[in-house]
């Protein structure tokens, strides 16, 4: 009967480990979503600054011929 108890212990330990792993992932998910959201917002702000407020895309002169 000892082989049955060790198998059951292994299954219980394995289940506990899987549960703990899922719990860690579930606790981490809101932070990960917040980080991704923050990065997207920063990239959007950088794009807005680059297009409308920075001199990078400014035209200094235009020459029309013809």
Band (9; pLDDT cuts 50, 70, 90): low
- Domain borders along the chain are 2-54
Q: 11-55, pLDDT tens digit by residue?
A: 667 888 888 889 998 998 999 999 999 999 999 999 999 999 999
User: What local confidence, expressed as pLDDT, does residue 66 receive?
Assistant: 85
pTM: 0.59
C-alpha to C-alpha distance for 53 and 66, rounded to whole angstroms? 32
Q: 32-41, pLDDT tens digit by residue?
A: 999 999 999 9
Q: How far is CA 13 from CA 1, 10, 19, 20, 26, in A?
A: 18, 5, 10, 10, 20
User: What local confidence, expressed as pLDDT, does residue 1 receive?
Assistant: 47
């Amino acid at each position: 009967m000892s082989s049955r108890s060790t198998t059951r212990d292994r299954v219980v330990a394995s289940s506990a480990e899987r549960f703990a792993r899922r719990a860690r992932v579930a606790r981490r998910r809101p932070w990960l979503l917040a980080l991704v959201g923050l990065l997207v917002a920063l990239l959007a702000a950088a794009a807005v600054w680059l297009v409308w407020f920075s001199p990078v895309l400014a035209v200094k002169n235009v020459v029309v011929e013809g």
